């Protein structure tokens, strides 16, 4: 380790300080793939709203990004592929039409459904064809306020039928009650 130009008693020369600086840099620069993380924004998203799987610390030498749904990297689970150089996005079998991939790797979901809940994997391939996998999680909850403001026609028809049936039952009961009272008080 001792540079030949520095005498053992000379203390720290510029060469040694440079060596120290280089080794510190190497120490503080962990493998780029270890730094990449995925977070869901918001952490809990309401059904029908938008959610983002945000990629933090994407390596600068990234060549392509592929998002998969589920726990495994399978061609059938591919949502979107984005190639940095060509800026071309290619959808896969798991693409629902509501996902958008950004050059920074983040994946946007629009109009999320309860089915979107689950695990996602981002596959990062760099210019040396090295692969890194990063996992993300999406949590979607059922928004009851959203449901009550926009009832589907089927539900409205159901409510109308229910109300009509209820009114008919009440009318029948009232009629029977009345009939029984008048009928009971008549003869005897």
What is the binding site for ligand NAG (CB under 6 A)? 52, 54-56, 98, 102, 104, 106, 110-111, 113, 115
How far is residue 82's CA from residue 58's CA, in Å, rounded to a whole number?
14
Nearest residue (CB) to ligand NAG, 23 versus 37: 37
C-beta neighbour count of 62 within 10 angstroms:
20
State the minimum distance, in angstroms, from the CB of residue 110 to ligand NAG: 4
How far is residue 3's CA from residue 43's CA, in Å, rounded to a whole number?
53
Give Cβ neighbours of residue 74 (< 8 Å, ≥ 6 apart).
Answer: 68
C-beta neighbour count of 53 within 10 angstroms:
22
Nearest residue (CB) to ligand NAG, 16 versus 89: 89
State the minimum distance, in angstroms, from the CB of residue 122 to ligand NAG: 12
State the minimum distance, in angstroms, from the CB of residue 141 to ligand NAG: 14
Nearest residue (CB) to ligand NAG, 20 versus 41: 41
Nearest residue (CB) to ligand NAG, 81 versus 112: 112
Alpha-carbon distance values, 143 to 16, 17, 25 (Å): 63, 60, 49
State the minimum distance, in angstroms, from the CB of residue 85 to ligand NAG: 18
Residue 25's H or E segment, with its range, is: helix 14-28
* N-terminal to C-terminal alpha carbon distance within the chain: 122
- Tokens 């600086």 identify what position? 21
Nearest residue (CB) to ligand NAG, 23 versus 137: 137
State the minimum distance, in angstroms, from the CB of residue 81 to ligand NAG: 17
- Give Rg (Cα) of the chain: 33
Nearest residue (CB) to ligand NAG, 48 versus 123: 48
**β-sheet bridge partners, residue 137:** 119
State the minimum distance, in angstroms, from the CB of residue 161 to ligand NAG: 25
């Amino acid at each position: 380790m001792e540079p030949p130009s520095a005498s053992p008693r000379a203390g720290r020369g510029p060469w040694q300080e440079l060596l120290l600086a280089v080794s510190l840099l190497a120490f503080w620069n962990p493998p780029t793939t270890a730094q990449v993380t995925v977070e869901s924004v918001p952490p809990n998203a309401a059904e029908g709203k938008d959610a983002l799987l945000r990629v933090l610390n994407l390596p600068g030498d990234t060549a392509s990004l592929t998002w998969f749904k589920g726990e495994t990297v399978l061609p059938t689970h591919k949502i979107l592929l984005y190639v940095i150089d060509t800026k071309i996005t290619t959808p896969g079998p798991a693409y629902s039409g509501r996902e958008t991939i950004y050059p920074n790797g983040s994946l946007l979901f629009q109009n999320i459904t309860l089915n979107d809940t689950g695990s996602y994997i981002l596959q990062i391939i760099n210019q040396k064809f090295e692969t890194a996998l990063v996992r993300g999680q999406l949590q979607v909850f059922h928004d009851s306020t959203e449901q009550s403001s926009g009832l589907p026609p089927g539900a409205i028809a159901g409510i109308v039928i229910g109300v009509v049936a209820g009114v008919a039952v009440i009318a029948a009961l009232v009629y029977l009650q009345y009939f029984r009272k008048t009928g009971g008080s008549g003869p005897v």
